[in-house]
Amino acid sequence: MATSTQTTDLPEISAPHERWPRHIAIIMDGNGRWAQRQGLPRIEGHRHGVASVRRITEESARLKIGQLTLYCLSSENWKRPQHELDFLMHLLEQFLIEERTKIMDEGIRLDVIGRREGIPDSVQREMDKTIELSRNNPGMRLCLAVNYGARAEIVDAMQEIARNVQAGELRPENISEATIDSSLNTVGMVDPDLVVRTAGEMRISNFLLWQISYAEIWVTPRCWPEFREADLHAAIQDFAARDRRFGGLNLDAD
């Protein structure tokens, strides 16, 4: 995993666009730690984190990245204090309402992956409204992972496939990677090329385990509330310089 020490004032990305990642997935970590370092309550870290979501979404759309997936709430995060969870749900609902106009103006298509259990009805209504309104938008795909866990996603997919086998609609020997792909939350999406993790953590945290099997990983010590456009540029620039062999050999290398 490469670790970023880049800070600010980076120039525009110099690598040709065809070498950029089509799909960037971000594990947004460090909201609470950032707030504690500032002497603020943890929830203020989440509030400032939403500002980073806006900045990075707008910049990704400006750069014409095909898809941006943001890990907003993992299925393990329900262990947190209830007041913090309530605040996170409030921020998500507020974001969906306040950003709806910009999403439509910029032609962004919204998707949400993860289980619906535990998400307040009011939040689900705003999710569904923005998803439906933006369904045919031609621009960047913005995917929010909410109450998401990759193992749970794979379990759900296996159960769906097993039901199809039991119903006689599918033979076990015909199960393929494509079968599994079509049963995941991310059906119809390209796999991430680049996974960005903030706050210096060197782990995947149950995020898109099937989909990131060949993704490049880029880690920055910056906490999510302090992640800026310059950091996104640095991640893309670093990705573009890598030799991606997908298990093969680059016969042109020295």
Q: pLDDT averaged over consecutive 10-residue blocks of the chain (254 residues)?
A: 48 89 98 96 96 98 97 89 94 97 97 96 97 98 98 98 98 98 97 98 97 98 98 97 74 52
Helix, strand, coil % over all residues of the chain, rounded to 5: 45, 15, 40
Instruction: Tell me, yes or no, whether 175 lies in a domain.
Output: no
Its pTM stands at 0.92
Instruction: Tell me, yes or no, whether 172 lies in a domain.
Output: no
Instruction: Tell me, yes or no, whether 155 lies in a domain.
Output: no
Question: Quick one: pLDDT at residue 1?
Answer: 56
> Residue 101 has which token pair?
């106009």
* CATH number, position 119: 3.40.1180.10
Residue 34 structural domain: 2-8+22-149+192-240
Instruction: Tell me, yes or no, whether 215 lies in a domain.
Output: yes
Q: Which residues are catalytic, by number?
A: 29, 77
Do 207 and 150 meet the contact criterion of CB atoms below 8 Å apart? yes
Instruction: Tell me, yes or no, whether 124 lies in a domain.
Output: yes
Number of domains the chain contains: 1
Do 114 and 151 meet the contact criterion of CB atoms below 8 Å apart? no
Instruction: Tell me, yes or no, whether 121 lies in a domain.
Output: yes
Question: Quick one: pLDDT at residue 246?
Answer: 66
Alpha-carbon gap, residue 161 to 238, rounded angstroms: 38
Instruction: Tell me, yes or no, whether 248 lies in a domain.
Output: no
Nearest Cα neighbor of 185 from 229, 220, 149 is 149
Instruction: Tell me, yes or no, whether 158 lies in a domain.
Output: no
Estimate to the nearest angstrom the gap between the alpha carbon of 128 and the chain centroid. 18
Q: Report the chain's C-alpha Rg in angstroms.
A: 19
